Structure formats: C-alpha cells, structure tokens
Structure 1
Amino acid sequence: MAARTRGGRAVALAVLTAFSLAVTGCASQEEPAGRPAPGASSAGAGTIKEGLKVAFLPKQVNNPYFDASDNKGGKVAVEEFKGVYSQTGPSEASPSAQVSYINTLSQQGTDVIVVSANDKDAICGALQEARTAGAKVVTYDSDTNPSCRDVFINQASAEGIAASQIKLIGEAVGEEGGEIAILSATANATNQNAWIEMMKTELAKPEYAKLKLVDTVYGDDDDQKSFQETQGLLAKHPNLKGIISPTTVGVAAAARYLSGSEYKGKVQLTGLGTPNQMRAYVKDGTVTSFALWNPSDLGYLAAYTGGALASGLITGKEGETFKAGKLGDYTVAKDGTVLLGDPFVFTKDNIDDFDF
C-alpha cells in the first residue's frame, strides 16, 4: 500500500500478506495464482525489452481508483523497465466507449494494451484486431472473454471479495439483520456481476439467514447517478438496514449521501473504496469498515505482465512464471489469470496508515 512512511509501507505489506480475511473460506481453498508452484515453468527468466509502448485503458479516466492503478502503479512499473507509458480512455463508462481508443492504440503500434473492460464482449472485436496487429493485451480489474486477451490480472478472487463484503455488512448491521441492497457500477461490468452472484451465494449460508437482499441498482460509476441511486434505494425501501457498493465511485457517493442525511448511523454502508475517498466518512461514523486491494499494485503487476508478454518471456500459458519487479514472482493460472492477492479491510484504527 502507498503508506505515508517507509515504516508504514512495511507494516502495510506485512499486513496484506498475512491478512487473508477469516471469511474467505472459498478463496482460501483455491490454489494461489500469484506465487510459483513447485515444478512450474520458468519461462519468465530473462529481461523485459526497453522502449515498449504500454498504454493503459481504464473503464473511465479521471477516476481516483484508476488514477492510483494506472498513474501511480502502471506508470512506475513501465518507467522501471524503461518503456513508454500512456493512459487514455473515455470520461464515462459504457460498454462500447473503449472501442475507438483500442483502434487508435492499435494504429499507433502500441506494444501492450492494458484494459479494464466495461463489457466482456463489446470490445472483443477491437482487441482481436489489435492482437493481430501485434499488440499484447492484458486485462485488469474487469476481464473480457478469455479468448480476447492474453492475460487477466485479477485483483482478488471473486469468492474472497464476495465473502468479505457480506461479512462486513453483516457485522455492521448486527445480529438483528434486516434488508440490504447493492449499489453496483454498470450492469455489464464483468467483475461486478461475478461478485454480486457470489454475494448471493454467500447470503444463502445459515449464518446470514437474517440478511435479506431486496434490490440491486446501478450507478454506472458516475458520482451523481450513484448518489441519486442511493437516495432512491432509501425512498423505495424504508426498512433498509445496509448497502453494499463494490465500486469506488459508488461507495464514496453513497457515503456522501448518508453522511448528510437522517439515515447516518441507521443505514450501514460498506463496499470497495480507497482510503483517501473514505477517510472522512469512516472518521465521522458513516462507515465502519470497507475493503480494497492496493490499486497501485494492481496496475504495477499489469504493466510487468504486459512487458513480460511483449518480450516473449511468457505467453499466458498456465504454469508460466515471471518476476514483477518489487512485487516478486508470479505464476499464470488457469485461463491465463494472475491473482494479485487478498482484499484488505480498512477501519478507523488503520485508515491513517494509507495515502491513496
């Protein structure tokens, strides 16, 4: 994590390594995708080529989450292996908004396109054309169909995210339980939909029998729409006890609405957010806890993966290993997936240790 001091960083990294969330029962039984297994291929031995053009294409630019992942993570990595970094993309998240940017990057001879997909299918045609033209494609945060890219950098297992979100809202609401709702990003977001389905599976467990999911709404990763959707949820469900928003834009907008309303302290909120977005709301009691991985590490890992692909050090085949700079060695798992790690929980006791 981007802690404010070197000591803080060391503590944060140690916590992130050790803190695997007791609730991630499903995730903890998976074979970790992020570290080399005994006997794994050593295809990653070698050096990344200098001068590679690496472009990041987030769901939307001017989003604090993607600013951290791209400009504070991906850019750092690309500069380390002496490549040429750029970020481009739409100002609003929509299924087809990224297509024209992919086409332009392909025409510019970009070596690596790192993209967070607004829709798993809508950009596939453009990505395939870019790959045919010679670009390597790495997805991060939100995947396409596996056939459309070379490697997907998964920020955390879907099971782990779902389990952590349900555990946090359950703890915040308390033993009495009650009605809860989900404020998501776009209706087509691959990662959001996977998490939501697994949250439903998690809610079916006996320990969450008193929690009832009554609605799922979409803020389209737009601050004002997410704010309005929060307001709408509370008007539609007067007995609502909690909201989960597994999107950085959504959870911050929901917190802003709750903090200035009669529902502060009465309706609980959790989700996936950054410390800088959520600090004020944690300190004023609007939010007890929320979770996230380190977005800068996600972008950093995505850049190194793209560099390894474009340098011929890996191909995206299961079992291949490569070194991702300061993050160390990683292994490509099934379906060309690389797992960054487990989500981390932020509370009033630790939030000031982080600055991103």
Structure 2
Amino acid sequence: MKKALTVTLATLLVVSLSACAEDGDSGSDGGGGETTNGIKSGLKIAFLPKQVNNPYFTSAGTGGKAAVGEFKGTYSETGPSEASPSAQVSYINTLSQQDTDVIVVSANDKDAICGALTEAKSGGTKVVTFDSDTKPECRDVFVNQATADGIAKSQIKLISEAVGAEGGKIAILSATANATNQNAWIEKMKTELAKPEYSKLQLVATVYGDDNDQKSFQEAQGLLAKYPDLKGIISPTTVGIAAAARYLQGSTYKGKVALTGLGTPNQMRAFVKDGTCKAFALWNPEELGYLAAYAAGALASGTITGKQGDKFTAGKLGEYTVGANGEVLLGDPTTFDASNIDKFNF
C-alpha cells in the first residue's frame, strides 16, 4: 500500500511538472506572469505629459491606459499643470523612486529633463519619449507622431490654400519656446516657405503661448494688433489653435484672417463649421498614446532595446519597427475639414 502511494505521488508530480511546462510554452514570462505579444504582465507604466488637463494629452492618456490594460499592467499619469522647461523634473525623480518600470514622457525641453531621466535610467527605469523628444541619449525609444518634414509640408500647404493665391503676411503661434517638436516643425516650415511656390507668403512673426489658453488668446490678439494686415496664422499646438480660433471668431477678423495648425476634431468642430477655420491637421493622439504604451511594455519586457531594426506588436495597430536613433513612427497626419470632421470623435 505504501509502495502504491509512493508511485501515485510520483505520477502526480510528473503530471504537474508537465502541465507547468505546457503553460510556460503558451505564454509565461519566466517569472510566473502572463505575457501579451511578448509583454510581461504587472508592469508599472507612468505617463508624464507636458501638461495635465490638456485635451491633447488627455486623449493620448486614454490610448495609453487602454494599451496598458490590454497587457495587464498598471497605468498612471502625473505631471505639471503648466508647461515649462523644468516643471517635469520633480515628477521624474518621484516616479523613479517609486520603482516605475517605464516613464513615458513628452518633453517640454530637450535638455532640461535629461539629467533626471539619465538618473532614472541608471536606477533601472526605462524611458520612452512621445510627442516631443529629448536628446537621444536621455531615453531608450522615441515614439514620433509624424516626421517634422511631413508636418511642416502639411502646415504650409494648408495655410497657402487658406490664404489664397495673393499670399500675404503670416505668423506662427507656437507652444513653449523650448518645445523640441515645435522648434523642429518651425524650422522645417521656414525651409518649406523658401520654396518658389510659396514666395508670396511672408512669415513676419513667431510668438509663444506656452500651451496656456489665456496667454495663447492674448498672443493671437497681439499679432493682429501689431500686424492688422496679417493674412494667416499657423498654430501647431492644440491649445494655441483653439485659443486663436476663439479670438478670431469673436473679432472683426473672422473670415479675413486664415487659421490652421494642429488641433483635435472635438475642440475645432464648431470653428470649422462656422468658417473660422477651413482646415487643420493632426494625427490621432489616442493612437499615439496607445503606441507609446506598447513600446514601453516591449522595452520593459526585453522584446526591444531601442536598437534600429527591433520589431514589436502594438495591439490593434499591428507591427512596428524601431528606426534610426531609437525612433518609432506612428504615421502621417490627417487633414480635417467640413467634409470629414464629423467622422472623428477625439
């Protein structure tokens, strides 16, 4: 009887070990957690936008939270209420002290947060930048919404069409003076404006609203006070374009001064329908946040390292490849106008 019991227990042990091996083959991360597309469960992913309570970053966070939920991680979001170069440093320090697996950050300044990010990386935290990059050495991967060249071409084409064949003076209403992405786009816009086909457009000013609604409104107002013959404004920031649209809508310049830039359909819908703005562009910020979260999960799981040629699957968006300098590209921006704006809800 004792011998029979021993045999039975041995048999059960073999069956149990076989079952564990089969479970591991079907999706174990080696540490007992499940995996989704090679991403470990239980990862702590923290989003740090340029500014909280900003509609653009709220949409990006919605996408990020959905992705983290899909691979069974823990999502959080924190950040400053005002977009300024050094405002994100203390948040980075706190997140790294909390053993966050990945910080997903949109940089207000490419230099100001590098020290804090480098220290976080030395402690084992991975860093993904999205929307606005830092220096490449300060992060592991950059998830870019679109190429600077693509955005610049889109913006200049839109303002040229809105102003018309006669051309005239135009101005740029940007976010912060240190924003990496804004500055890259503006430089590319200047290059684009130098082409013969845009010779009748004259860029007379670039002003900064600091991604603050009231300041952006005042900067738009100030542009028209200084340049009453201004023909168009480009505002490549969601806060700025909405504030400029609100100013133009209530002024004598409505219908006389063209407006374009980067905005969300929900915030710009009324301005498009009443003629304040004919067309503007943007990528889908929810998809940007979603992709950034999956890049973060893949990075923390060792699926990618940020090396050129690395591949990972980003849920419903499919497979992506890491490009030069650790960059992952979401895709081209979409143009929104009266013909299609009601098809989008973000």
Q: TM-score, with normalisation over the residues of structure 1?
A: 0.87
1:47 aligned to 2:38? yes
Shift of 1:199: 0.2
Match of 1:117 among 93, 107, 110: 107
Query: Which residue does 1:347 correspond to in 2?
Result: 337
SS at match of 1:96: coil
What's the CA shift string for 1:159-210, capped at 9, x where partnerless?
0000000000000000000000000000000000000000000000000000
The within-5 A match list for 1:1-356 is: 47-70=38-61, 72-356=62-346
Higher relative contact order (CA 8 A, sep 6+): 1
Q: Work out the CA distance in 1 between the residues paired with 2:143 and 2:345.
A: 23
What's the CA shift string for 1:105-153, capped at 9, x where partnerless?
0000000100000000000010011111111100000000000000000
Q: Work out the CA distance in 2 between the residues paired with 1:293 and 1:169.
A: 18
Q: Work out the CA distance in 1 between the residues paired with 2:330 and 2:280.
A: 19
SS at match of 1:153: strand
Q: Work out the CA distance in 2 between the residues paired with 1:121 and 1:197.
A: 18
SS at match of 2:76: strand
Amino acid at match of 1:51: G
Q: Work out the CA distance in 1 between the residues paired with 2:140 and 2:189.
A: 28
Shift of 1:331: 0.4
Amino acid at match of 1:88: T
The 10-residue stretch of structure 1 (46-55 or 116-125) with the greater mean CA deviation from structure 2 = 46-55
RMSD: 1.0
Structure 1 gaps, min length 5: 1-44
Q: Is this contact kept in 1: 2:37–2:313, CA < 8 A? A: no
Q: Work out the CA distance in 1 between the residues paired with 2:175 and 2:253.
A: 22
Shift of 1:248: 0.2
Q: Work out the CA distance in 2 between the residues paired with 1:207 and 1:151.
A: 37
Q: TM-score, with normalisation over the residues of structure 2?
A: 0.89
SS at match of 2:210: coil
Amino acid at match of 1:59: K
Amino acid at match of 2:209: G
Q: Work out the CA distance in 2 between the residues paired with 1:132 and 1:265.
A: 54
What's the CA shift string for 1:2-36, capped at 9, x where partnerless?
xxxxxxxxxxxxxxxxxxxxxxxxxxxxxxxxxxx
Q: Work out the CA distance in 2 between the residues paired with 1:158 and 1:83.
A: 32
Amino acid at match of 1:57: L
Shift of 1:46: 5.5
SS at match of 2:331: coil
Amino acid at match of 2:343: D
In the alignment of these two chains, the number of paired residues is: 312
Q: Work out the CA distance in 1 between the residues paired with 2:270 and 2:334.
A: 19
Shift of 1:238: 1.3
Q: Work out the CA distance in 1 between the residues paired with 2:182 and 2:239.
A: 13
Structure 2 gaps, min length 5: 1-35
Q: Work out the CA distance in 2 between the residues paired with 1:79 and 1:112.
A: 15
